[in-house]
Amino acid sequence: MNRPFNFSAGPAAMPLEVLQQAASEMTNWPDAQGRPSGMGVMEMSHRGKEFISIYEQAEADLRELLAVPANFKILFMQGGGLAENAIVPLNLSRGETVDVVVTGSWSEKSYKEAAKYCTPHLAATGADTHFTTLPAPAQWQLSPGAQYVHVCTNETIHGVEFHTLPDLKALGSDAPLVIDFSSHVLSRSVDWARVGVAFGGAQKNIGPAGVTLVVVREDLLGHALKVCPSAFNYKTVADNGSMYNTPPTYSIYMAGLTFQWLKRQGGVAAMEQRNIAKAKLLYEFLDSSSFYSNKVAHDCRSRMNVPFFLADESRNDAFLTGAKAAGLLQLKGHKSVGGMRASIYNAMPIEGVQALVSYMQAFEKTQA
Ligand code: PMP
C-alpha cells in the first residue's frame, strides 16, 4: 500500500504494519496461539484474561525496550502530558519548592501548572534566545531542598532536545529529575540512573492518544498530597497494576503492537541510529540552503521535530499545497512559531525524509 508521508507532530503517523494488524484483529482478537477470542479488544473487560495478557506483554516489552530497571514501576495512565503537569506536583511536591527548567512551550506550561500545587522556581530559561538554545545545566539555579527538578527533554514545538540528561548529583542537587519525554520516548535510550520520573503521552512515538506512560522510581511512591485524586495517585495506580480505574484498553493494545514492531526493527538502539541518520539528512540540507533555515543551535537540535522556515514566508501556502500534492502531509508549523515543522518520529522511514528533501529542492527551483 502506497501511503503519503505524514509529518504530523501528534497524533502522528504509525507503522503501517501496526495499523494493518489492528485492522485484521478489530472484530476478533486471537491470542498468542492464534485462538480466536470472539471479541475485539475494545469489547474486552480490562480484568479478563485476554486483556490482562495484552497488558502484561505491553508492559514487559516496554521494560525491555527502554531497559527500565526493576526499581521503577511502569504505569499506564490517562490525561496526557498536560495532566501530568498537575499529577507530578500532586505526587511529588509535598506542597513545597520544585525547580523547573523552561526550554519551550511545554515546560512553560509545566511551570505554570505546578504553581497550583506548590512553589515552582524557574531554575533556568531559554526564553532569551526564543528557545533556540538550551540553558547549560552548570548555569541552572537549583534550589536547595527542591522536591524535584522538571525538564522537558524534547520540546515538540521549538525543536530543542537534550542529547544528554542532566546529572543533578554532579550539580549538587539530591532532587529527583522529572522528565517529560512525550515526543521522543523510544527514539533513544534513557539513562535511568539520572531519572526519578519519566512521563509521556503516546500519540507521537507510540500509538493513539489516550494513554500516558509514567515510569516512576519506587521510592517516590506514597508521598502524594491529600487532595491528589485517587486515580492520579502513583502509589494507588502502581498497587493496582494500572487498573485502579478502567485503563484506556485500546490505546494500550495499540501501544503494545508498536512495541512489538519496534522489537522487530532491532529495538531502541537500532531506531536511534535511524533517527540520527534521518535528522542528519534534513538538517544538513537545511544548513546548505539559503532558501530554507532552521534556527536551533546545533548542539540541541531535536531529532524528532524539525521546525524550519522559508526565507520568503509569502511562499508558505504554495509550499504546503505543493507538499500535499507530492504526498507530504501536515508540514505546517505550530501557530506559536510559524513556518514549517517536520516531525520525523520512529514510524517515519528515511524514504520519507528523502522525499521531503527532494520536494524542497524542487520547490526552490520552481520559485527561482
Ligand atoms: N509535553 C510535550 C513535550 C508535548 O509534545 C505535548 C503534546 N504535544 C504535551 C506535553 C501535552 O500532551 P497532551 O496534549 O497529551 O496532554
Q: Catalytic residue positions?
A: 106, 180, 204
Residue 212 C-alpha cell reads as 500516558
Q: Report residue 248: phi and psi, to 5°.
A: -75, 85
pTM of the model: 0.98
Q: What is the pLDDT of residue 201?
A: 97
- For the cut 90, the answer to whether the pLDDT of residue 139 exceeds it is yes
Between CA 270 and CA 188 the distance in angstroms is 9
Residue 135 C-alpha cell reads as 540553558
Bridge-partner residues for 97, per DSSP? 119
User: What ipTM was predicted for this assembly?
Assistant: 0.99
Q: Which domains does the chain have, with CATH numbers?
A: 17-264 (3.40.640.10), 266-366 (3.90.1150.10)
The whole-chain average pLDDT of the chain stands at 97
Residue nearest to atom 6 of ligand 1 (CA): 81
% of the chain surpassing 90 pLDDT: 99
Task: Check pocket membership of 180 for ligand 1, CB cut-off 6 A.
Answer: yes
Q: Is 103 annotated as a binding residue?
A: no
Locus of grid cell 519519566: 198
What is the DSSP-derived secondary structure letter of residue 11? S
Q: What is the pLDDT of residue 368?
A: 76
Helices (H) and strands (E) in the chain, counts: 9, 14
In this prediction, residue 1 has a pLDDT band, given cuts at 50, 70 and 90, of low
Q: How many CB atoms lie within 10 A of CB 158?
A: 28
Q: How far is the CA of 135 from the centre of ligand 1 (A)?
A: 21
In this prediction, residues 237-250 reach a mean pLDDT of 97
Among 85, 102, 182, say which to mutate for ligand 1: greatest number of ligand atoms within 8 Å of CB.
182
Task: Check pocket membership of 156 for ligand 1, CB cut-off 6 A.
Answer: yes
Burial class (CB in 10 A: 0-12, 13-18, 19+), 211: buried
Ligand 1 atom, smallest distance to 157 CA: 5
Locus of grid cell 533556568: 124
Non-local CB neighbours of 60 within 8 Å, separated by 6+ positions: none
Locus of grid cell 526550554: 103
